[in-house]
Amino acid sequence: MRIEIVNSSVSGQCALKQGAGGGIFPSGIDLIQTRAQMNTDIANAAPAADGSNTRKVYVKTYGCQMNVYDSERMADALSKDGYQTTDNPQDADLLLLNTCHIREKAAEKVYSELGRIRQMKQTLAEQGRELMVGVAGCVAQAEGQEIIRRAPIVDIVIGPQTYHRLPQAIARARKGEKVVETEYAIEDKFEHLPQPDRKVIAKRGVSAFLTVQEGCDKFCTFCVVPYTRGSEVSRSVAQIDTEARMLVAAGVREITLLGQNVNAWHGQGNDGTEWGLGALLRQLSQIDGLERLRYTTSHPRDMDDALIGAHHDLQKLMPYLHLPIQSGSNSVLKAMNRRHTVKDYLDLIGRIRQARPDIALSGDFIVGFPGETDEDFEDTMRLVETVRYAQAFSFKYSPRPGTPGAERDDHIAEDVKSQRLQRLQALLREHQIAFADGCVGQTIDLLLEKPGRDPGQLIGRSPWLQPVIVNANPSQIGDIVKVRITRTGTNSLYADCV
């Protein structure tokens, strides 16, 4: 399966990078077939590309960690119906694009990709081979039937809240139906997804994503997530705990909890009451074999005392927090409908740092939001100087159709936005380098995750999420080892085992 992270940021509400914050619905045409019907359709279909009865699926994933998680779960669902993943689209019987709607012209980029796939599908048809094409994710949710109209080669359009229906949708498409599944599912999709095979989990690595919350109720004026992912929904503690234990049993050592607005999670606890994210983290920290916990992405308004207390109390909760503010100007924050002020944010940062002094902070910034003045931008620069982020993600504002920001008539000229972004990124980069330089000489615990580029190298993540390269034996993948940081690279650290 191909996981191509073209862009990744739930920027205060958008998609998810190593984070952002905030934002990702119901009536239903119930055309779901039974599993038995679907298996019959697959069994009667033509042989796979390699002549066997095993069909192959190629999944191309755009965007955030939540899309990566969704792609893995779609692959899990399809594997139960005889599909194997492939890294070569030419070998596929089913090609899925799991799309992201956060970046500029996202839909047009999908249509461009579908144009290339059309040529491949036609070539395969001339060879007597069938290629089924599906579009999933946020662009699918936003565009719906329009995708079928503009790209007739597409057989299935399926939104992020209905991908548990993917095997049934394939069965319908094999009968010649053009399937559009974008009505928000009434049923809980997580309850209907099959559990992945233990060997499959182990193959994916020692770090894993686990979605605990979806959607956003914040309605920031620049963001499309509430329209493509819907309102906030939280999974129960029992569901999350069961999936976490399954991951750990398969060798996962680190879990990152995901949500468009993850710290807005409020799920039913084991005692029947509603829990917050701080309580959930305490519950998961008790799992034997689970050594590290992270979460992303958060909104400042949902950072409560219990969650801050978890950062103080839980050794397994890594000292890294992505907490987007988007702008350092109160007037711009108001126009964005962020519903907090710069002072609110800075006071919150102070409380977090008091609870966990070694915490590394990350953020998201949008420059050139409609109406942003030179002074507004300078306010952002002053805030960055005050907070000094270890990492940050910054973007020029680009309008999203259907959002309030897109309808404003005071948009900023592109050259002005570009100049502001260049200045901001230079300052953010300066602080990121300074933070990395401050790590040199420190001895840290490092979770070894995968082989490096050169023989004898392994790569892990520091507690602050930086890639760390160290010489170690491949048999140590999954181990947590003591290393001493010796130097910095362009985007990583180098270390020696202690």
Which residue has 């799991």 as its token pair? 98
Length of the chain: 498
Q: Which of 232, 309, 238 is closest to 272 using CA atoms?
A: 238
pLDDT at residue 104, as a whole number:
63
Give the model's pLDDT for residue 472: 95
pLDDT score at 35: 29
pLDDT of the chain along its 498 residues, tens only? 444 444 433 333 333 333 333 332 222 222 222 223 323 332 333 344 444 457 999 999 887 788 888 888 888 888 888 899 998 998 999 999 998 876 667 788 899 999 999 999 999 989 989 999 999 988 888 888 999 999 999 999 998 888 888 889 999 999 999 999 988 765 566 676 767 778 778 888 999 999 999 889 999 999 988 888 888 989 999 999 999 999 999 999 999 999 989 999 999 999 999 999 999 999 999 999 999 999 999 999 999 999 999 999 999 999 999 999 999 999 999 999 999 999 999 999 999 999 999 999 999 999 999 999 999 999 999 999 999 999 999 999 999 878 999 999 999 999 999 999 999 999 999 999 999 999 999 999 999 999 999 999 999 999 999 999 999 999 999 999 999 999 999 889 999 999
- Write out the DSSP string of 272-332: SSEEEHHHHHHHHTTSTT--EEEEE---GGG--HHHHHHHHH-TTB-SEEE---B-S-HHH
Burial class (CB in 10 A: 0-12, 13-18, 19+), 440: middle
Q: Kindly list the structural domains of the chain, giving each domain's residue range(s) and its CATH number in brackets, ordered by start.
A: 35-185 (3.40.50.12160), 190-439 (3.80.30.20), 443-497 (2.40.50.140)
Predicted local distance difference test score (pLDDT) of residue 189: 66
Alpha carbons 316 and 259: distance in angstroms, whole number: 19
In single-letter form, the type of residue at position 273 comes to T
Tracing tokens 């190593």 back to the chain, one arrives at: 18
- Residue 185: what pLDDT? 63
CA–CA separation, 137 and 141 (whole Å): 6
pTM over 0.75: yes
Residue 439's pLDDT is: 97
Q: List Cβ neighbours of 240 (8 Å cut-off, separation of 6 or more).
A: 210, 212, 257, 267, 280, 284
- pLDDT given for residue 65 in this prediction: 82
The pLDDT score that the predictor gives to residue 4 is 43
Alpha carbon distance 401, 210 (integer Å): 30
141, burial (CB in 10 Å: exposed 0-12, middle 13-18, buried 19+): buried
> According to the 3-state scheme, what is the secondary structure of 29-41?
CCCCCCHHHHHHH
* pLDDT at 196 (0 to 100): 73
- Beta-carbon contacts of 44 under 8 Å, excluding residues fewer than 6 positions away, are none
